[in-house]
Structures are given as C-alpha cells and as structure tokens.
Amino acid sequence: MTQLWPAPTASGPVRATVTVPGSKSITNRALVLAALADGPSTLRAPLRSRDTELMAASLRALGVSVQVDPTGDWLVTPAPLRGPAEIDCGLAGTVMRFVPPLAALADGRVDFDGDPRARERPLDAVLDALRALGADIDGTALPFRIRGAGKLAGGRVTIDASASSQFVSGLLLSAARFEQGVTVVHEGEPVPSLPHIEMTVAMLRDAGVVVEDDEPDTWRVEPGPIRALDLEIEPDLSNATPFLAAAAVTGGEVTIPGWPARTTQAGDAIRDILTEMGAEVRREPTGLTVTGPGVLRAVDIDLHDVGELTPTVTALAAFADGPSRLRGVAHLRGHETDRLAALQRELNGLGGAVEQTDDGLIIRPRPLTGGEWHSYADHRMATAGAILGLRVPEVAVEDIATTSKTIPDFPGMWAAMLEQA
C-alpha cells in the first residue's frame, strides 16, 4: 500500500525564498543535442530527477558517455550510437518521444518499454513519422522495437501532433543528423504547448542548426553539424509554480531566485496568471517574488499553450471568489493520467464542485474538508494536493514520492519553505 503524506497546513502567510532545481524540459533537450554534437558538452546545474536520469541512462545505453563531475554538472561525450540496447522510459514523455528518433540513427536493435501507465500514452504519431522517414519499427506504443541501420533518410513528413507538442520536438531534435534533415507538417487540431516547440527551435539554433519555422504548423531542420554545448540550465519555472501558489493561497510572499529575464519555458506564464488572480508579481534581478492577495480572483483562462500549469491553477481556483473556467486543455486527458478527470474526482472528494467540459474544467469554490488526495503517479497532481493542504487541514497525499519525476525532494523543499514563514 502506498504511504500517505500528511500535507502540512500553513499556520499563517507563507514567507520564504525557495531555490528551484534546473528545468526538466531544457535538461532533456540538451542531453539529446549533446549526444549528437560534434564534441563533448557540459550541462551546468542540470536537473537531477527521475525523468532526466532516465534520459541520461537512455543515452548511455546507446553508447554515449554521460558523466557527473564533482560539482554535479553533466559531461556528455558523443560516440557512435549502437545497439543492442534497452530503453526504460519510465513515465517520461520526453524519453518515450525524444529518444526513438535518436535510436533510429543507431546501428542495431533498440527496445523500448516503461511504466504500466506509459503503455497507454500515445506514441503512434512519432513512430509512424519515423517509419515514413525510413525507420524500421515494430509496434505503435510501448513496448516497441527499432532496428537501426546507423542512419536515417529523413525528408518531409505529415503528422497529427494535437495530442502532444513532444511529437514535433522529438523529430526536430535529431533531424540535423538525418541525411535530408526533416520537414514536419502538422495537420489536425491546434498543437498544444507550442512554447515547448519554440524552446526546441531556440535550442537547436543556439547549437548552430538551421531551422525554418516561418510557415504555420511547419518546421524545417536542415542537415548539418550540431555544436557542442556549454549550457547553464535555468531553474524549472513550472516546478516553481506550487511554491509561488503557496504565497497566493496564504496571502504570503515567496521569492524564486534566478528567474530568467527572458525564457522559452512555458512556466513563465504563471506570472500573468497570478496577476490576473489578484497577486502582486515582481521580477527583479535577484528573482521573482509573488505576494498573495487577501482574496484570489476567479479567472476564465485558456491554458492550451501551458497545460502543465492546470493542476496548480485548479488548486488556486478552489479558493477564488467565484467560479473559474479553464479552457483549451482537452489534451491533458492523455498525460501521466487523465488530469481533467483526476482533478475533478479528487477536488470533489474534498467537498469541491468541479465540472468537466469538452476542453477543460469549471471550478466552483466550496468549503473543503480533509481527506485522501490520489496522485495517479502524476507529479503535478501530487503538488496540487500539497497546495490545497496549506488551507485545508488533514489532506493526505497518496504517493508524494511521484514528485521525484521532476523535483528530487519536493517534501523536503515544501517543509523548508514552511519553516521560513
């Protein structure tokens, strides 16, 4: 039986400075680029969590050297990619969608599998695209096998990426090593989380890769070298949002040091969301500070591009001054769990009133009571339960350890934040 974590209740306004580890999205993209680069790379202050360790292990299985130096930086030395290899994706979408294009460049068999829930997550778009580009693949979901020939023709491919922007990013990251590069054309409902594709494009360009994205829903990567990286990883802004939410729901003040002045991270959108909900948000050279309002304002907001913030915003909306509507996030039904169903079930289980719509949620604030909050092996569900527990006594979060997917010690960081108050 999974142990329950008693979510701490704040005794008053939370006032703290919280240093957040590096960005998962940047770390895992950088690892893939470094594996294909034309020389050794250094990734400074990378995130060390389950998802990034799985990515590093995947590269090692394919023959790449990924070493940790005494400071915790990662030193990545490319080598010819080869099989046989076994890739454990865990529940990491970046591993199951970014590594297959890399494995298609390997010489030999590469087998992929992951956690039970990972076998339910959609992968056909990226695997079918790789087949169309010349890869030999058995299967359309985990587990599957790629028989690499040491090269991939590449070319033009049309996909439906409406379930995940990672389908596009995964193809783009390795495309400079395809013989013809790649042109990815999306056809279907709008691609969710477009800032993540913009991050991929920016990182490719920073590594000297030629990328054209001036035509809507079309991305072209030219074949060519990838420069070695010497990269300082930004703090993970999405992982910072539960701590900023702690200030918002308790009327306190939380500072996140090192918040970048310019970033491609989707989590940066929390600044505007918290402002709309009535919080004071200040970005200074030392970091970002959020001061919570007396009462949070309800919102009607489209989170299509920043769906990962939905659990945090749902928890905030549970304490707002009226009903909130979150739109544009139907794709969350295919994440680590069906996040919309999970948020509805769990918040209603504490006495809330949450209704699913075709593309989101309506949250009507109600007095909440304590109870068990299930995480569904979803790190963002677990952190949403922690936010609620700040205001609602006796919330018990099931499987808080699932937060290690992207935050190495969330319970310790949460406790340290409250000790500063």
DSSP letter assigned to residue 20: P
Q: Which residues are annotated as a binding site for 3-phosphoshikimate?
A: 24-25, 29, 164-166, 193, 308, 335
Structure tokens given for 78: 């490319």
Distance of CA 290 to the CA centre of its chain: 22
Structure tokens given for 30: 């950088």
Spatial distance between the Cα atoms of 121 and 96, rounded to a whole number of angstroms = 9
**Catalytic-labelled residue, pool 234, 253, 308, 346:** 308
How, if at all, do strands 211-212 and 218-221 pair?
A: antiparallel
State the chain's maximal CA–CA distance in angstroms.
62
3-state per-residue secondary structure call for 92-154: CHHHHHHHHHHHCCCEEEEEEECCHHHHHCCCHHHHHHHHHCCCEEECCCCCEEEEEECCCCC
Spatial distance between the Cα atoms of 58 and 56, rounded to a whole number of angstroms = 5
Which helix (H) or strand (E) is 32 found in, with range? helix 24-36
DSSP letter assigned to residue 320: B
Q: Is 336 marked active-site?
A: no
Is 257 in contact with 286 (CB distance < 8 Å)? yes
Identify the bridge partners of residue 325 per DSSP, sorted by sequence position.
300, 362
Backbone angles phi, psi at 296, to 5 degrees: -75, 140
Q: CA dihedral defined by 6, 11, 13, 14, rounded to 10 degrees?
A: -40
Spatial distance between the Cα atoms of 380 and 311, rounded to a whole number of angstroms = 6
Is 211 in contact with 202 (CB distance < 8 Å)? no
Neighbour count for residue 263 (Cβ, 10 Å): 17
Q: Which residues are annotated as a binding site for phosphoenolpyruvate?
A: 24, 93, 121, 166, 339, 380, 405
Spatial distance between the Cα atoms of 205 and 198, rounded to a whole number of angstroms = 11
Q: Just list the catalytic residues.
A: 308
